[in-house]
Structure 1
Amino acid sequence: MIDFSEWRLGWSWPVLLVVIAVMAICLRLCILTWIRSGRKKSIAWLEALRFIIVGLILFTLANPERIELIERDSEPEILLLADASGSMNTRDVKDSNGTIITRSDWVKSSFAQPWRTELEKTAIVSELPFSSASGSEATDLSLPLKEGLDRVSNLKAALYFTDGDLNTGPSPLSLAGRCRTAGVPTYVVRVGKDKPLPDLVLEDFTAPSFALLDERLTISYRISNAFPERIETTLELMGNDEQVAIKPIIIQGGEEVSGTMSWLPTMKGDMRLRAVVKEHTGESILENNTRKLETRIESKVLKALIVDSFPRWEYRFLRNALERDPRVDMNCILLHPGMNPGNGRGYLREFPGSPEELAPYDVVFIGDIGLEEGELSEDDCEALANLVRLQASGVIFLPGRRGRQTSLAESPLGDLIPVTFDPTKPRGVGTSNSSAITLTKKGRNHWLTTLRGAGEPDVRFWERLPGFHWSAAALKSRPGSEVLAVHSIFRNEWGRMPVLAIRYVGAGKTLYLGSDSAWRWRRGVEDKYHYRFWSQIARWMAHGRHLSEGDGMKVIHSPERPKTGENVYLRCIVLDKDGFPLKDGPVESMIEHPGGENERIFYEPAPEGEGVFLATFRTRQSGPIKIRTEVTKADRFLETNLQAESNGLERLGRPARTGDLRELARLTGGKYGLAENLESIVQAIAALPAPGPLERIHRLRTDLYWGLFLCALLAIYWTGRKFAGMI
């Protein structure tokens, strides 16, 4: 670099020689042009101007800079960046007495030691605890350093005390360039061991926010094993401090397992759930073996509708089972093509003719009927599809031997059917010997197939159920559907033929059962399996519709238990004062977050139909959330309680990390070390000179007025050439 006091040029000597050569060539061309013009004075002035412009442009390309020195008007400051996230509560650090303490306690005790006084002799020492913008449930390592660079005008150094568990925000390396420019070295003290503690951890434990009485309550779990060897343990589920389920767990060393447990509540009301992993000898942390949740069990009367053509055996036993269920209000329609519809107790003379009449039904069973005069119409299919998508109801497809359901594939219900029918076999397929339902891997773990309310300890009872001779011909499942069971005999190019499949559509669900012989499960055991199966499915279908409801109004939230920082989608179903779907709003909710902050959101009408409004918001931190929804036009009000769960980013027992912080220290001229290296790091900081004056660089090539000046000279030159008659 060539330094001219306050100004400096970015030229090296080879480049300078090239510039001199270019200027010499330019001078030669200018002289030749002047001579060819007859040595006119005007041309001499123009060529002189051209020579000057070329020189100024080359001078600009040399990137001249004017250095402005700004004296600092405050004392130097050293920032102690103390990690206050949840992982710092891991107990794996020895203090001076050899006692094992938590990482955060070691940091607190370190701040009280004499080394801090040594640093205070040359600078102001400030503490800055940090975690993340969302609280102690995550760690953002770039957040405190950025805040320090923004806030402190005379920052001498930054010293991290952290386990390095970065799990949100940008990498701290993104600030390395800014630290180097400001002359701020970054030092790092890694707190904690770099290997996981031997431990069993219940990483995750979730359950629905509510369940209907006689509906199986399914909890999901995830357990990790930090021991090097294989561990056999148990997971115990407690409800209101009583054991309700227990499951053996086998985990390989250094791995995780996940799964589900289900339980059939017998009483309504609030329920405190607690999952406990049995203690294993040698565990380091026992607190993470237990997790707690709260849910509620409610008794609701469900509305069910059965629609079929003829009173086949499956229809008769299904109707009788639902009619005997005290918590199901059942209606049925027997269309009898070519004859008068069936009549009697609970019978309807015709299919509900409007969306308003269909809306009260939680679950609709579609039997062996299709799209035809005297059966279902296009409008009926459209109303059923909207009932599922918009109002979170369920539809169950039960095809029969007439093969009428294949015609529904081209109707608005087509996308709701979980399988694709074989058009070449509309009447299905049969076998002379009975066939069995074979559960898939998904089906063996799905609570719809675990009828433990019937006294069965596992799903092996499916192998003992009476078989069937007929089933609908399905080619394959639709994308997005889940196949729970397949035919034991029939297969095609897509694999085994689906017999039991489910599908999530919009806010609701659909189910397909390809056999009409579930009634045969009653042989010798009466209602033990048949009733429990359909009762369980009806409650599973209706679950979403009863998350939060009031007079003429429902609010359905998804997911039921959102994580911190996750979007929550709200679906509000509203009737006007006359009991018809509300055509327009306004519909609004006041969200009360766990930290006390309030947020007002406004709903937009769902494009698919009237009476349904959609909104969304983002959870900010874990804890209870209150949603107060108001529709002034319909004089409706509803309060919904929601529990936001921790996102699980901060976990005890995890090893301390190095990674980005070690590289940050190297790039900024700092130092990286372990807890036992604290003294040497402090000495390095104490030896730092006081920060010099700040430099502000003014580059000529970025100056607007200089650019305008060069443009003006070029304009004068080219205008002069025109007046002089030059091309």
Structure 2
Amino acid sequence: MITFHPLIPIALWLPLALAAVGLLIAYGVMKRGRIPQKRYVTILGLMSATFAVPLLILLNATWVRRQPPPPGKPLLTVLIDRSGSMATEDGDADGKARFAVAQELAADVVKRFGEQYDVRLRTFAETSAATDANQLAKIEADGKATDLGQSIEKSLGEDRPAGQAVLVLSDGIETSGGSAARLRQTAERARALSTPLFVKTIGTDKSVRDLQISLYQSQELAFAGQQVPVVVRASHSYPAPQKTTLSLSCNGEELESREVTIPGGDEIEALFYVDQEKQGLYRYELAASAISGEVTSQNNQATLLLRVVNQPVSVLLLEGKPYWDTKFLIRTLSSDPSVKLTSVVQLAPGRFLERQIERPAENADADSDETVAADPTAPQAGAWKIHSSAESFLTNRQFLSQFQIVVLGRSTETYLTDEALIELRSWLADNDRALVCFRGAPASQLSQRLGSLMPVSWASSAASRSRVALTESGKALQWLPQTGDELQLLPSLASSADPAEVKPLATVLATSSDGADGEKVPLITYRPEGSGRVVVIEGAGMWRWAFLSPEHQAHDAVYGKLWRSLVRWLVSNVSLMPHERVALRPDSIAVSSGQNASATLILRPDEWDSPPQVELSGGSLDKPQSFAPQANGSDSVFRVHFGKLPPGRYVAKTLGTNEDESSAVAAFDVRDDLRERLDVAAQPHTLSQLAEQSGGSALDSVASDELPAALNSALIEFGEKNRPQRIVRNSAWNRWWVLTAVIGLWGCTWGIRRWSGLL
């Protein structure tokens, strides 16, 4: 086929053609009768040809021919999702399983496109694998997870000159942790390879009926004999209220159980208490009885690891004057067997009373809230000493290093010299320590160095009183799970300076519940300082919480619980307790069977020449296995990677440690991944976005029996837009013989005219 692509605009070519015709006519008129008629006609014909050939060349006559397509058939890959969610029986109106519908659709595609395309079948879940029509009929939907992005990536690896496309038959549920960004990258790579993705979402937004429980904290630290609250959250997906029995057990022995009613579509919290008299690592199981019709009971249980230590927490309390708040705080802390208290109170200028209060006797029930409430002013024995100066308390590094928590009262300027603040900041940041200001600003005038330590800044205000209410952050931390709702019922606290600004990185745990102008004032705030924490508790008069009037007697135990919870919370996340030389901590108490189990090993460098190995036992292991810790950028922190483990209960122990070193032992559970059984609502939006970004399309609106025809139309449309037939164009005059013929024609015309005497 010949087409024309003029080398000059037609508007210019036409005048040239008309001029050539006019010149020929004029020349013919002028030369008529001067030569014989036959020669006259020949000369005019040759001259017309010499004019016509350049004009035709300017029209750029082009030979056009279609190039045959690349050899071979185009590749059509059919990806069939075989993950556990595809076993859901909502694939069609008849209640057929999603995977069964996908199998039928794949068979229809193979039958319809087998002659035109190289059709290949692949199934995918955690990974993808090739299959054929016969094997596909025997496969079951039992995959533990769905990695959609990686499965499509593996289908794009082959270069097919004849073209390729991918058909995805899935419910669109991604459970392997693949992000939207990763799926978008997969779609963009498919577009770059001119490989459209066509998707068919199978399934509905059906949800399953299930009951599940969880813990706010799956690892807890406690002191010997100390009660620890355990908050259990229970919820279900049934539309109507359901009853279940929650039980607490340890080492297979049930300790407590209770029946609860969970409203439909809601969540409840239940509170249990655990305690142990001896140090060690204790595993507690909390379980909920199964409800009729629930899809699985594996998530009806949760594990709590309680690490019990018998070494007390060393607390230093510094006070500028004798106050009732200080007196009751000393009584409360000294009655706690988990606290070793040293208090320093300025009695007069140049006179400081230091008391090292002895711990209660082991047989005393000092952790009992009733005991503390019954006699809040019970005296405690201990050594005491009078000092004439306060400089040595915070500036003496050796003296300060023995404490884990420092509590500052009011008017403590005497203790907080510049040298002391430098030591205090270093003690906080480098040693996982905690500073508590329990009556607001620790000094009437804050220096720049002291102010930079505080999580809030203060501004003078009129005297005010306010009650305490936990914030959402305070509730989420579960610092006071058993007393949080009671705080608003207790006597108000007095304040003459309100926090004017909460500093960056600070977290407000409690605010005022009854501000006069409706503005909530931060009352309990904390901020990290290096590896330590600084906590500020606003307001004076908290001593009244420990000496309640008759109308508040029901909340008599709150004051003691508050301070015990605070102490436990401040030391629960430290790297190493003072008496510990090693700590082994699992990253998670419950690990999915598809995830890598790992732990962090923390060592006291001066106690170890080289990092010890960690021995793992339990589960389905035939014998214990040893793992070498890997450095984590520090000479004291190491990572231990156990890899993927089969379901079971495992115990990890640091080799080279003593039996009584409970911190050297860790425990965790490996459980089946339930996401494929619980998260079964189809996600057509995910698949549609994937198809559009790749240049393909979604076929969700097409009936199953019409899918092959709709796919064929979509493939043809894509081919016409993105893979048109290649056409080869060659200019007709761009050949040697054309040039020779033109020159010969011009020469012949010149010769005849010369011979005829016209030149």
Q: What is residue 574 of structure 2 aligned with on the other side?
A: 545
Q: What is residue 368 of structure 1 aligned with on the other side?
A: 410
Residue 271 in structure 1 maps to residue 300 in structure 2: no
- Structure 2 Cα separation of the partners of residues 117 and 495 of structure 1: 71
What is the correspondence of 1:643-662 to structure 2 with a 5 Å cutoff?
652-659=678-685, 661-662=687-688
Paired residue type of 2:171:
D
Note the C-alpha offset of 1:590: 9.3
1:419 counterpart (456, 469, 477): 456
Residue 197 in structure 1 maps to residue 223 in structure 2: no
Residue 163 in structure 1 maps to residue 171 in structure 2: yes
Q: 1:597 to 1:653 in 2, by over 3 A?
A: farther
- Structure 1 Cα separation of the partners of residues 393 and 155 of structure 2: 69
**Residue pair 1:398, 1:512 contacting (<8 A) in 2 also:** yes
2:519 counterpart (495, 499, 514): 495
Residue 127 in structure 1 maps to residue 137 in structure 2: no
| Secondary structure of 1:495 counterpart | coil
1:142 counterpart (123, 140, 149): 149
Q: What is residue 520 of structure 1 aligned with on the other side?
A: 544
TM-score (norm 2): 0.60
Listed as ranges, the gaps of 5+ residues in structure 2 are: 16-59, 129-141, 358-383, 657-662, 729-759
1:407-448 deviation digits (Å, cap 9, x = unpaired):
3x43544344343322467xxx37xxxx56242454677644
Note the C-alpha offset of 1:313: 2.4
Note the C-alpha offset of 1:151: 4.2
- Structure 2 Cα separation of the partners of residues 559 and 424 of structure 1: 46
- Structure 2 Cα separation of the partners of residues 19 and 299 of structure 1: 98
Note the C-alpha offset of 1:164: 1.0
2:469 counterpart (424, 439, 449): 439
- Structure 1 Cα separation of the partners of residues 249 and 227 of structure 2: 15
1:228-277 deviation digits (Å, cap 9, x = unpaired):
x675777946454555677765456xxxx678655432237423344649
- Structure 1 Cα separation of the partners of residues 257 and 347 of structure 2: 47
Note the C-alpha offset of 1:307: 1.6
Note the C-alpha offset of 1:116: 6.1
| Secondary structure of 2:443 counterpart | helix
Q: 1:204 to 1:656 in 2, by over 3 A?
A: farther
**Residue pair 2:236, 2:262 contacting (<8 A) in 1 also:** no
Q: 1:547 to 1:125 in 2, by over 3 A?
A: farther
1:636-677 deviation digits (Å, cap 9, x = unpaired):
x96766789999975625321223535766876787358972
**Residue pair 1:159, 1:186 contacting (<8 A) in 2 also:** yes
1:210 counterpart (220, 229, 232): 220
Residue 380 in structure 1 maps to residue 420 in structure 2: yes
**Residue pair 1:160, 1:188 contacting (<8 A) in 2 also:** yes
**Residue pair 1:565, 1:619 contacting (<8 A) in 2 also:** no
Paired residue type of 1:324:
S
Q: 1:218 to 1:390 in 2, by over 3 A?
A: farther
- Structure 1 Cα separation of the partners of residues 270 and 2 of structure 2: 75
Note the C-alpha offset of 1:367: 1.3
Q: 1:669 to 1:361 in 2, by over 3 A?
A: closer
Listed as ranges, the gaps of 5+ residues in structure 1 are: 5-11, 25-58, 453-457, 579-584, 606-611, 631-636, 700-727
1:150-196 deviation digits (Å, cap 9, x = unpaired):
1475886533231112462447676667657867564544332x222
**Residue pair 1:94, 1:100 contacting (<8 A) in 2 also:** yes
Q: What is residue 340 of structure 1 aligned with on the other side?
A: 351
Q: What is residue 317 of structure 1 aligned with on the other side?
A: 328
Q: 1:177 to 1:365 in 2, by over 3 A?
A: closer
Q: 1:528 to 1:600 in 2, by over 3 A?
A: closer
- Structure 1 Cα separation of the partners of residues 233 and 705 of structure 2: 40
Paired residue type of 1:81:
L
Q: What is residue 36 of structure 2 aligned with on the other side?
A: none
Q: 1:445 to 1:327 in 2, by over 3 A?
A: same
- Structure 1 Cα separation of the partners of residues 80 and 398 of structure 2: 60
What is the correspondence of 1:83-482 to structure 2 with a 5 Å cutoff?
83-85=81-83, 87-88=85-86, 90-93=88-91, 101=97, 103=98, 123=118, 125-131=120-126, 139-151=146-158, 157-166=165-174, 168-169=178-179, 170=181, 186-192=197-203, 194-197=204-207, 199=209, 202=212, 206-213=216-223, 214=226, 216-217=228-229, 219=231, 221=233, 223=235, 225=237, 236=246, 238-240=248-250, 242-243=255-256, 249-250=262-263, 262-267=271-276, 269-274=281-286, 276=288, 279=291, 285-287=295-297, 290-301=300-311, 302-336=313-347, 338-346=349-357, 350-355=392-397, 357-372=399-414, 375-399=415-439, 405-407=443-445, 409-423=446-460, 429=463, 437-442=467-472, 447-451=478-482, 459-460=485-486, 462-463=488-489, 465=490, 467=491, 470-476=494-500, 478-479=502-503, 480-482=506-508
Residue 535 in structure 1 maps to residue 577 in structure 2: no
Note the C-alpha offset of 1:538: 0.9
Paired residue type of 2:124:
P
Note the C-alpha offset of 1:613: 6.5
Q: What is residue 733 of structure 2 aligned with on the other side?
A: none
Identity of matched residues, %: 14
Paired residue type of 2:606:
D
- Structure 1 Cα separation of the partners of residues 521 and 696 of structure 2: 66
Paired residue type of 1:394:
A
Q: 1:395 to 1:602 in 2, by over 3 A?
A: same
TM-score (norm 1): 0.62
Q: What is residue 660 of structure 2 aligned with on the other side?
A: none
| Secondary structure of 2:157 counterpart | helix
- Structure 1 Cα separation of the partners of residues 471 and 631 of structure 2: 43
